Amino acid sequence: MTTNENGALPTRQMEAIRLDNLLINFTTEFNRVLDTKTLRSSTAGFWRPAPAPDELPGYFPLGDLAVSGETNINGLRVAAVVRESGSPSADSTKGNALSRPDDFERVWTDAGSGATTDASIWRPIPPAGYVALGMVCSNDHVKPSLNAVRCVRADLVIASHVGSFIWSDEGSGARQNFSAWNIEPPTAAAGEIYFAPGTFFGVQSHNKPATPLAYALRMQIPLEVTSAPTAPVLYGYEAPSAVETGKMTQAAKLPWFAVRDNMHPVEQLRTSPHYRLERTDEWVLVGHGRNTSDKARPIKWTAFRAQDTTRSKAFSLLTSIEIGSAWPSESGNYVRAISFSAKLNQRFAHSETTLSSWWNTAPRDVIAMAAKNKAVAVYQMQSTYELLREDGTPATISIEYTDDESLHLSEFPSDENGNLPLSPPLTTDSTRGEDTPEQISDINVTPQPMEQWPTSTDTVP
C-alpha cells in the first residue's frame, strides 16, 4: 500500500532526453511508500516516483527515493523516470533499453524492532545485460511487484560512487543493520553528462560501503554545428571594418539540472527544461597596413585578447558551468536537484589544447610580411558564448574568447589568379622590441583603436 500525498501541480511534459532507444524525463510527483515514525531510529521517508499518466504516459521509476526527515517531498524534489522509445536501438544487436527485474533480493526488514508497522527494502535482480539503478521499498514484508521498477541496459549507464549519507536504522532494534546513501556519478568525460536518477544505494551495514555496485545514467551533450564564418577578403587599399559579421556556429543543449539559474529547481524544470549555450564566431581585425615601397616589408601590430578572467569567473559562479573542465566544482555550495557531472566538448569550449588559454589575457605581437605595393589586413577569430533559456531569454552575462589557433591574412591586390599567397606571411612575437627604421619605412599602418582590438594570439596557421 502506498499513500499519495501529492499537493503540487504536475510538471508539464518536457522534451525527453533520448539515449539510443531510452527516453528519460523528470517528475516532481511521489507516493510515500513507508516512513520510520514507529522505529526508534532517526526519521526518514521512502518515496516512489509517480509520474502523472496524462503528463508522462508509460514512464517507470528506476527505484525509490530515501529522504531524511518527515517532509512531504511532492513539488520539492525531482526524480528521473524512464520509458522505452518507440524506435529500436540504432545497433540491431542490442535489445530493449529497459527490462523488468528477474526478481528481488531482500536487503533489510524491520523485524525485531518492535515497530507497530512493517517495512522492508529490496534490491532488484536485473537480467543479463541490464543493471539496477536503485532499490525498492515496501510497507510490509512482501516482495514488490516486478512492475514497480525498471532496469536499464548496461551500455546506457556508468559505474558510480556512493555519495553522502541519508539514513540508517541505527537504534531501531531490528535484527538486520541497514543504511541508505546517495549515488554520486564520476567525473564526466568531455562532451558527456553523467547523472543519478535520484535513487539511493543501500547496504546491510551502518558504514559507508567501499566497493558498491552503483550506477548512474549517461548521455552525450547534443551539439549543433554549422560552418564557420567566411574568411574576410580585402578589396581595396582602405582599412576594412573592425569586425566582420559573425554567425552562430555551435550550440550545446544542456538539461535544466546541469545549469544553475536564479530560481527553485522545480520552477526551473517547469520554465526551462533545456538551455542552449550558443557560440557565435566572428573575424575581428588585428590591424591593416599598406606597403608603398618596391620590396616586401614586415608590419607589426599588438593583438589583445577578448578573454576576461573576472567575467569568466562570474559566468561560472552564476551558472555553475565550467567552460573547460567538469562541473559542478567541489567548492559549489548550492543544493543540486539531480546529482551530476558534466563537461563540454573540448573543441566547442576551445579547450582541446589547454584550458589555460581561457585565463591568458596577455597581448601578443603579430607580424605580417606585406609584399611590395600591397595592402594587408590580419584578422583573428573571436567567439562569444551566450546561455539562453528555452524561451530564448539570456540566462546570464555572455563571455568572449579569442581563438589562439586562428589567424587570417588578406592582401590587396591578390595574386594574378585572385588567390592569397600559399606561404603564410604571418608570425607572432611575445617580445616587445623597438622597430628598426628598415622595418617601418615606406609602410602605412592602420591599427585598430585599443578599445576595439581583439585578444592576442601566439600561433600562426
φ/ψ of residue 3, rounded to 5: -115, 125
| Amino acid code (one letter) for 456 | S
- For the stretch 170-204, pLDDT in tens is 999 999 999 999 999 999 999 999 999 999 999 99
Residue 339 predicted with pLDDT over 70? yes
Residue % of the chain over a pLDDT of 90: 74
Query: Averaged over 298-320, what is the pLDDT?
Result: 94
User: pLDDT at position 211, please?
Assistant: 75
User: pLDDT at position 7, please?
Assistant: 47
Residue 155 predicted with pLDDT over 90? yes
Q: What is the residue-averaged pLDDT of the chain?
A: 87
| Amino acid code (one letter) for 381 | M
Q: Which residues pair with 98 in a beta bridge?
A: 152
Distance CA 119, CA 70 (A): 16
Residue 406 predicted with pLDDT over 90? no
Distance CA 183, CA 165 (A): 10
Closest of 92, 89, 66 to residue 77, by C-alpha: 66
User: pLDDT at position 210, please?
Assistant: 84
Structure confidence at residue 132 as a pLDDT band (50, 70, 90): very high
At 256 the three-state DSSP class reads helix
User: pLDDT at position 403, please?
Assistant: 85
User: pLDDT at position 427, please?
Assistant: 61
φ/ψ of residue 314, rounded to 5: -65, -40
Per the document, the length of the chain is 461
Q: Please give the C-alpha separations between residue 151 and each of 142, 157, 211, 417, in angstroms, as whole numbers.
A: 20, 11, 20, 64
Query: Averaged over 71-99, what is the pLDDT?
Result: 94
Residues 6+ away with beta carbon under 8 Å from 142:
120
Which phi-psi region, left, alpha or beta, contains residue 315 (left: φ > 0; alpha: ψ -120 to 50)?
alpha
Closest of 196, 229, 258, 219 to residue 387, by C-alpha: 258
Determine contact, residues 68/167, Cβ cutoff 8 Å. Answer: yes
Determine contact, residues 97/156, Cβ cutoff 8 Å. Answer: yes
Which phi-psi region, left, alpha or beta, contains residue 213 (left: φ > 0; alpha: ψ -120 to 50)?
beta
Distance CA 386, CA 395 (A): 8
- For the stretch 342-373, pLDDT in tens is 999 999 999 987 778 898 888 989 999 999 99
Structure confidence at residue 440 as a pLDDT band (50, 70, 90): very low
Tally of helices (H runs) and strands (E runs) in the chain? 3, 29
- For the stretch 273-282, pLDDT in tens is 999 999 999 9
For every residue of 195-210, DSSP letters joined together read E--S-EEEESSSSPPS
Distance CA 378, CA 417 (A): 21
Determine contact, residues 368/356, Cβ cutoff 8 Å. Answer: no
User: pLDDT at position 27, please?
Assistant: 96
Distance CA 247, CA 296 (A): 35
Query: Averaged over 320-341, what is the pLDDT?
Result: 84
User: pLDDT at position 336, please?
Assistant: 85
| Range with lowest mean pLDDT among 209-213, 280-284, 433-437 | 433-437
Residue 455 predicted with pLDDT over 60? no
User: pLDDT at position 446, please?
Assistant: 45
Q: Please give the C-alpha separations between residue 145 and each of 96, 104, 124, 133, 310, in angstroms, as whole numbers.
A: 20, 9, 10, 16, 55
Residue % of the chain over a pLDDT of 70: 86
- Burial-class residue 31 by CB neighbours within 10 Å (0-12, 13-18, 19+): middle
User: pLDDT at position 447, please?
Assistant: 42
Structure confidence at residue 441 as a pLDDT band (50, 70, 90): very low
Distance CA 215, CA 328 (A): 19
At 370 the three-state DSSP class reads strand
Determine contact, residues 72/6, Cβ cutoff 8 Å. Answer: no
451: DSSP letter: G
- For the stretch 107-118, pLDDT in tens is 999 999 988 889
